[in-house]
Amino acid sequence: MSFSAASMARVITDGSAKNSYFDDTSAYPVSNAYGLTNVPTLFWIAQDGEIEISSVGWVRKEMEEFNRRAAQASTEATRPLFRPDERIADFRAG
């Protein structure tokens, strides 16, 4: 799924960002527009538009926090991101 930088900026600034947006991996227009240089790069944006969490690279604890907040925001129970038998690194540079 691809979004233009302009549409991404509009979604973020109007305070209605409740979805996940993925960049077009052929040219990375959104990443380039925002100066992002690493993947994954994730932001948790509060209702007031403030960035509460910024995560660059793979940080397991941050991914688990995103998962916890997403469940809380949706009023659903938090579901595990990983199976107990999976060996998932705590950190991996982006």
Phi first, then psi: give them for residue 51, nearest 5 degrees.
-80, 120
Query: What is the reported pTM?
Result: 0.65
15-50: pLDDT as tens digits: 444 555 666 667 788 788 888 888 788 888 888 888
DSSP element (H, E) containing 44:
strand 41-45
Q: Where are the domains of the chain?
A: 1-37, 42-94
Sign of CA dihedral 20, 21, 22, 28: negative
44-82: pLDDT as tens digits: 888 888 888 889 888 999 999 988 888 888 888 888 888
Q: What is the DSSP letter of 52?
A: E
Count of Cβ atoms closer than 10 Å to residue 86 Cβ? 8
